[in-house]
Structure 1
């Protein structure tokens, strides 16, 4: 890492690197922005996805804890360092928060210029952040990276990066499916239940117990294949790390029911002070509702069970049947009767 950017920050400070992971459409963006609200947090939205930052692209999204691979470890460590001196395409994702370690006005101007260059077609996906936007020294900053492709390498990260604190969020599979469908309608997504998209993640099944999903994955409907993906993506890290004190599991529906209470637990796990800015954004993000697909301003009482009105009775029954056969069902004990 170029120490001229963030004097005093290094991987020697284990409490200062946090990974927020989850399957897509699980509330990762909301949770990430709730952490970004802290003036002590330097937030990166999916720096490892697609090719937003160098180095991360050399790390497969699915890795077993062993055998060790020095090339992957070195690439991931360099990706973490690059978070501090590279923009990614949506680095400063609105809403924006004041930071103790940034000259905020200069940083926003530079970010707006980068966005303008991209819109004009002259921007590049990755670009250096000018040094002058940082204040010095910045010894107490926390890097928070949000990722939707890390679930199946979470145990690998846990094994080889003991300095990283892990937060994983899960959401009811019915809500996951409904959100995916809205993405098809509003964002033009394609590939729901498509094996061309899912095989690389699902096969071979990471855990022997998951072989029971093979028949429905290979012969079932698109909905059933998407549910198998959800099961594999969420079961796999928890089978390996459920008892680890370095992993904080967040259930999206619990976050909706008690945003401040759950967030305080997350902040404590990450060793980030919970202050007025975080408290204010909790209230702001839950008291105003925007229907925009990627908005983080959502009334949780409207979003938490929205899927029940969007899926047919038959689809809901399929979802509940597959969820009920997994140990993950314990996180939604009233799901069937709700």
Structure 2
């Protein structure tokens, strides 16, 4: 890890060359509760893109492809992945089915078949058959995959050569949101021993002196301090790699909250898409304020909320003691300068 991480996009002089067999991919990734779903839905309003939602976490076929990522031939991996994306998958091709230039299927019928597949497993192949689309390099494929393992990103980018968007959120906001999810039983909780073992493996995978000062005293730390170390494990290597990748852009959740229209214009320019009225309309709708939903799960995962309120909730959600515990770990982070309002 370098001591200084530039908070803006960085480009190298070495340019990636697109193989003619490659499709046009854009990948959004980042830790959970960092705004990746909101950004994914914004970008899915582009009427020429195919949207794949959490493929590596939800679909066995995509998981199998990822398991071969490090060992299989690059060209074979490219062909297999293009085939996966051309198919319609009940687990990753989700409603709503907005108007798309390439889609000949009736959106209402797609939605009906999706619902039937939820009820009857045997009907899913009908959904897969009706929804499949022939893709070309003129059809951008947008992939949103939360918590994609950073050590695998270089290989994934070698194979797919995507436009990479690494999305991050300030540690106080992300930890407060995750705590709320656990309180609502919307997020899985691991035992402390499992948590610490996983953290040590992740620290060792980065190598060097990365977080060496914490590795052997994790057992002594509070749960909130452990969550702050996890934030550093997940975010710092992701930012480091994204900044060094020729086609990488780091997006800070709070920047998107402060100026959604301006930031999405920058993001569309980065991926080479033309920003349209449907995207502007969705941003206006999604930022108008929180919807009253009786289902707590839907409310927790909803993208319809006032972003300025959402990004500042941590200031009242976290106690002074919790904020102090987070600060004790984050003070040494090279990324702390990305946020001016952290209590450090």
- TM > 0.5 fold call: yes
Secondary structure (helix, strand or coil) at the match of 1:43 reads strand
* Residues 87, 127 of structure 1: 8 Å contact kept: no
* Residues 26, 271 of structure 2: 8 Å contact kept: yes
The aligned counterpart of 1:116 is 116
1:317 is aligned to 2:324: yes
* Residues 47, 83 of structure 1: 8 Å contact kept: no
1:301 is aligned to 2:308: yes
Shift in Å, 1:46? 0.2
The aligned counterpart of 1:4 is none
The aligned counterpart of 1:231 is 232
1:332 is aligned to 2:332: no
Secondary structure (helix, strand or coil) at the match of 2:216 reads helix
1:40 & 1:191 partners in 2: Cα distance? 38
| Cα 1:142/1:53, change in 2 over 3 Å | farther
Deviations 1:24-76 (CA, angstroms, capped at 9, x unpaired): 111110010010011011111101104x1404335259x9xxxx632688457
Aligned-CA RMSD value:
3.0
Correspondent of 2:33 among 14, 18, 25: 25
Instruction: In structure 1, list runs of 5 or more residues that go unmatched.
Output: 1-9
Shift in Å, 1:333? 2.7
Instruction: In structure 2, list runs of 5 or more residues that go unmatched.
Output: 1-17, 293-298
* Residues 110, 131 of structure 2: 8 Å contact kept: no
Pick which of 73-82 and 200-209 moved more. Answer: 73-82
Secondary structure (helix, strand or coil) at the match of 1:166 reads strand
2:174 & 2:135 partners in 1: Cα distance? 42
Count of residue pairs the alignment pairs up: 317
| Cα 1:267/1:306, change in 2 over 3 Å | same
Correspondent of 2:45 among 21, 37, 44: 37
Correspondent of 2:142 among 144, 152, 160: 144
Shift in Å, 1:13? 7.1
The aligned counterpart of 2:128 is 129
The aligned counterpart of 2:86 is 84
**Structure 1 residue runs of 4 or more that deviate by more than 4 Å after TM superposition:** 71-77, 120-124, 131-134, 136-139
* Residues 155, 237 of structure 1: 8 Å contact kept: no
2:170 & 2:191 partners in 1: Cα distance? 17
Secondary structure (helix, strand or coil) at the match of 2:228 reads helix
2:336 & 2:23 partners in 1: Cα distance? 31
